[in-house]
Amino acid sequence: MGEKWGKKFIEEILDSVGIKINGSNPWDLKVKHDGFYWRVLSDGSIGFGEAYMDGWWECENLDDFFCRLMPSNPQEKVQKNLKTALYFLGAVMRNLASKSRAFQIGEKHYDVGNELYRKMLDKRMVYSCAYWKDTCNLDDAQEAKLDLICRKLGLQAGQQILDIGCGWGSLVRYAAEKYGVSAVGITVSREQAALAKELCEGFPVEIRLEDYRDTTGIFDHIVSVGMFEHVGYKNYRTYMEVASRLLSDDGFFLLHTIGNNVTSVATDPWFGKYIFPNSVVPSLKQISQSTEGVFVLEDLHNFGPYYDTTLSSWFHNFDMNWDSLKHHYDDRFYRMWKYYLLSCAGSFRSRVLQVWQMVLSKNGTPGGYEAVR
């Protein structure tokens, strides 16, 4: 009786968004294990993701599935369970992205293996949303994004920039190579730092393994791409104050971040456990409050739909290169990574998530800032 009720409850949620259980459409969910329904009802999003990792359900087009599902806010429809409640309570009670925990995201996600990222990303190893305007391949789209950032900052030869969360050094190397600047890049990933130093050798670039709260110096411009998601809502104000302290009075701070349509204090529990620990996607309200009295917003640019194309390209590369990667990982990792990339692609396609680039100044630009696209 309980199993039938659980199945009916899940069926009603999926049916409301045009998804059938064991249906014939490529976005339909095919159940492989009878325990699937109660696992989802008892463990919420963690149970749903883990059930996929364990092969308890399949879907031909995961991205299409999540594109249909995510706007309905399925987590709210599934009865609140103890695990989910404790997860969000922990995010409120503790500072999950405190300085003492800063390196955990590097160890969990970015240190998973440089070879994986080499095979998945573009030739410059840019791990953030590409700019697909007037481009048709990942390499060109990522280079267009790097150039867009440089042009928004108005980089001039001889200037020095800071990249907070520099990844494998793609932006600082590009800026040094194409615009004649010197740069400092910081990361909390040991694997990223080691490879970034290698890739930036011969350029006026310094790579530091450090938390942003420990960074010193004054820079003509500051940029942060895809790192603010790891700052944590309790640290947003501190982050902005640090950026202001490090920025010259007439410089720009370009913040590139995934954005949430609604305010939250924690990421999805499955993503928090397996992909991005201690992270949360900010809302415009949270960013605005954190910059009040610290920065002037000069420009806001949303190109969130481009992340769908970027993530789909990453999954294509990951999938095509799996044979050369699988001796380092197991099949459960493959399913976890596929679930991560394609569920995100579907979420951006459905517009429940955005990508914002903000240009900020300390005192406002005399005469106004001319937007660059």
CA angle in degrees (0–180, nearest 5) for 87-240-178: 110
Whether residue 93 is contained in a domain is answered as: no
Distance between CA 325 and CA 41 in Å, rounded?
34
Q: Are residues 32 and 119 in the same domain?
A: no
Tokens, residue 157: 């030869």
Q: Are residues 214 and 111 in the same domain?
A: yes
Q: What is the pTM of this model?
A: 0.93
The ranges of the chain with pLDDT < 50 are: 1, 81-82, 86-89, 91-92
Domain enclosing residue 122, as ranges:
101-361
Whether residue 91 is contained in a domain is answered as: no
Q: Are residues 54 and 159 in the same domain?
A: no
Whether the Cβ atoms of residue 37 and residue 3 lie closer than 8 Å to each other: yes
Q: Which residue has the tokens 């194309």?
A: 309
User: Which candidate in 59, 129, 166, 344 is catalytic?
Assistant: 344
Q: Are residues 209 and 112 in the same domain?
A: yes
Catalytic annotation present for 67? no
Q: Which residue has the tokens 């993503």?
A: 271
| pLDDT at site 89 | 45
Distance between CA 365 and CA 254 in Å, rounded?
14
Whether residue 88 is contained in a domain is answered as: no
| pLDDT at site 83 | 56
Other beta carbons within 10 Å of 323: 8
Whether the Cβ atoms of residue 280 and residue 259 lie closer than 8 Å to each other: no
Number of domains present in the structure of the chain: 2
Q: Are residues 155 and 43 in the same domain?
A: no
Distance between CA 336 and CA 46 in Å, rounded?
12
State pLDDT tens for residues 214-259. 999 999 999 999 999 999 999 999 999 999 999 999 999 999 999 9
Q: Are residues 214 and 306 in the same domain?
A: yes
Reduce the DSSP state of residue 301 to 3 states and report it: strand
Closest CA to 258 of 297, 288, 303: 303
CATH number of 346's domain: 3.40.50.150
Whether the Cβ atoms of residue 319 and residue 345 lie closer than 8 Å to each other: no
Reduce the DSSP state of residue 29 to 3 states and report it: strand
SS3 for 189-211 is: CHHHHHHHHHHCCCCCEEEEECC
Distance between CA 257 and CA 129 in Å, rounded?
9
Whether residue 71 is contained in a domain is answered as: yes
Element (H, E) at 314: helix 305-320
Beta bridge partners of 361: 252, 296
